[in-house]
Amino acid sequence: MGRPPSAPASAADEPLIDAYLAMMRAERGASANTVAAYAADLREMSRFLAERGETFAVCARDDLEAFFSDRAEAGLSANSAARKLSCLKRFMLFLVAEKMRDDDPARLIDGVKARRVLPMTLTIAEVDLLLDAAHQAAAFGDPQTPAGRRALRLACLLELLYATGLRVSELVGLPRAAFLGDCKMLTVKGKGGRERIIPLNAKARTVLDCWLDALDAAAQAADGKAGGASASKWLFPSWGEDGHLTRQKFAQDLKALGARLGIDAERLSPHVLRHAFATHLLDRGVDLRVLQTLLGHADISTTQIYTHVMEDRLRQTVFDFHPLSEGAAEKET
């Protein structure tokens, strides 16, 4: 399930926005969620300009700055303002490149400094707790029943996610054909259609084999009827519109598991497990370029956010344990 469609822009701006979104899809391989986010931001700006009697084709810098002033007064966060400004600047560059404007009124608008938000993560002990609980539930269930297959599916999802660091959309959308040679390697097509190959550890391969056996058994029980498990090309098939398990359903199952273990739902999501994969590898000295490849980041700067997590941990460790720090002194008293 993607974002709901955004409210329309002004009649004059809609063709310009549509042309830009088409370029994003065709030339940049932007995901549906990214395109929807850009569409919503640009249409919001267009409606504001229309209230001032302006359009993207003729508006001035003052008109665009007025939009950000108006949204700031309404309580727009610095992070959201920075995202909208980035979207606007890219869009204006496109209009100039396509001869839809002669000038770029957004060029001199001061950048909004976004607050650095470090990714939430889990400790190794918390990840072990989740995996152990998922495996216990799968072991006690019967994979020939729907409830047993759901338990085994969750165990497989968690093992694969923590073993590979996949984006949740990549994980739930895996085809069965993604696994190379005895399930030792996984081929993933990520953002922009870029492919990467990720090795699987023995534990992930074992639970994956169990899940594949359960799928095949369910298909045989259905006698190969259309719509049975064997009729789907997906590793995690579902009756939904996409044919595979949704991100939302996986997140719900994960939060339900966490709730039984006393892990706050606000701290738990499939994306947090991806962060745990990255930070735990860095903890053990993995090279940042290797981590970039595993995560499928196009730019190393995206991967570097995890080094900030490490820096914060180091600072906290020094504060807590250095004999001259206030934190250590408080522990002694």
Query: What strands, in cross-sheet order, belong to the sheet with 179-180?
Result: 179-180, 185-189, 195-199
Q: Verify whether residue 20 is a known catalytic residue.
A: no
Task: Give phi and psi for 332, each to the nearest 5.
Answer: -75, -30
Q: Is 203 one of the catalytic residues?
A: no
Count CA within 13 A, CB hemisphere, residue 141: 22
Residue ranges in 29-77 assigned as alpha helix (H): 32-51, 61-73
Confirm whether 167 is a catalytic residue.
Answer: yes
CA 178 to chain centroid, in Å, comes to 20
Q: Which of 61, 90, 271, 313 is catalytic?
A: 271
The answer to whether the CB of 198 falls within 8 A of the CB of 188 is yes
Give the tokens for residue 75: 């309580």
> Which one is catalytic: 135, 205, 274, 280?
274
Closest CA to 43 of 53, 56, 34, 33: 56
Could you tell me which residues come within 8 angstroms of residue 320 by beta carbon, excluding any fewer than 6 positions away? 327, 328, 331
Measuring CA to CA, which residue among 249, 286, 3, 258 is closest to residue 120? 258
List 191, 196, 249, 313, catalytic entry: 191
For residue 306, indicate whether it is catalytic: yes
Catalytic residue among 43, 153, 167, 247: 167
Catalytic residue among 101, 255, 275, 297: 297
Q: Is 297 a catalytic residue?
A: yes
Amino acid 11 reads A
Active site residue ranges: 167, 191, 271, 274, 297, 306
